[in-house]
Amino acid sequence: MKNYLDEAVESISESVRFDSSLTKHTSKMPFGKGAYDCLEHFLTLAQRLGFQTRNYDNYVGEVLFGNGTEEFAILCHLDIVPAGNGWTKDPFGGAVEDGKIWGRGTTDDKGPAICCLYALKALKDEGFVPSKTIKLIVGCNEESGWACIEHYREAAHMPEVGFSPDADFPVIYAEKGILQVRLHFPAEHPPFLFLEGGSAPNMVCDYCEATPRSLSARAARQSGLELAGKKLVSRGKGAHASTPEKGVNAILPILEYFRAKSEAANRAIECLFEDVYGLKKLRDETGRLTLSPNVIKFRKGQLLIIADIRYPATMKAEAVYEKLNRFGVLYETIHHQPPLFLDKEGGLVQTLLSVYRECTGKDAQPVAIGGGTYARALKCGAAFGPEMAGDPPVVHQADEFISIERVELLLKCYKTAIERLTK
């Protein structure tokens, strides 16, 4: 696979230069120009490597290899969360420095998608003939709604079995349910004129600001806030919403500043940060529930807060709704994905586990995560890499990168896995 490493690194760097976060759509570009350009880049690359491709109305594309009656899916995504704040590298520069490729999407999920493409290329060059039709499916709306997958189901046929290179090694057998809700906290006669923060529902808020009706510099300093003219500024640290403990939420210090003078701020803190109704006590073998309030806006006498909830994989959403109902505030569900739960001893999980052990020399067991991947779009799907235990957290954070060493490992792992699962 070393023959393909340099090309893969260059292609990842090229892909990162497209800001493929969700932007204003057009009839031709359903998720904005950046996503459109990134998809075109990927499919053009695949064609240059000798593969047949299909583009389904710029929602999603696929690369085809083999012509078996049975199908096998490799599900990736090319869209990204917004860059956010705190970068020391250009998030869309694709710089290759210090043995790493830097930029938003390098790990989540452009890097792994391109590694899967070059793994197919290596197999093709070796003369491998899969017994199944392999579909490398690349969506453009994974981070903000899955409309790409919905469109693919309408326009094409989704395989039943496959993997998604969009999580962790050694192999993921379970993914928590994902529930994103918008809560309305009434804020009559608020002590603020403006309050807003957060870039995306699935990304820990790293920046929040507010304009108070009366400004106390002393109280601001005590709350750890910055003063910017008449505004209060709170800076946090971004992280994936499934692991909020790896970030620092910038919303809380702003709410704390107004807590004594605003029942809305007080109730939001009690419900979402202090967890007075015990949402985070829900747990099972796949872990505890996580609760991350990531987007906040003050509009028309209400504090509107979008909270990202990842609930245990063996539980039903009704258990979460029962707790939310106790908040006593209006809320609506804006996104829901039921959990994924596979048999640890099943063929797909065990095959991917054996590939990991073979390629790394490490013993490990299947794991559960709070993140959500395209694997749950399949009847039998598992997430497989690219991250490993002990990696520094980079997904949805500033200075995201993938090491060239990891790219080399991914090429080996994905080539082996694809060959073994489709021979």
Taken as a whole, the chain contains a residue count of 423
Q: Cα separation of 409 and 403, whole Å? A: 10
Helices and strands (DSSP H and E) totals, the chain: 10, 24
Q: Cα separation of 133 and 46, whole Å? A: 16
Q: How many Å from the N-terminal Cα to the C-terminal Cα in the chain?
A: 19
The structure tokens listed for 352 are 């991917």
Q: Cα separation of 252 and 234, whole Å? A: 9
The structure tokens listed for 379 are 């009847």
**Bridge pairing between strands 100-102 and 401-403:** antiparallel
Token pair 């694809």: residue: 418
The helix/strand/coil state of 67 is: coil
Q: Which of 142, 143, 175, 308 is catalytic?
A: 142
- 253 to each of 195, 205, 274, 290, how far by Cα in Å? 12, 12, 13, 20
Q: Which of 19, 71, 79, 143 is catalytic?
A: 79
Closest CA to 238 of 39, 81, 416, 122: 81
Does 142 participate in catalysis according to the annotation?
yes
Partners of 291 in the β-ladder:
309
Phi, psi of 48 (to 5 degrees): -65, -30
Does 57 participate in catalysis according to the annotation?
no
Q: Cα separation of 398 and 417, whole Å? A: 31
Which residues participate in catalysis according to the annotation? 79, 142
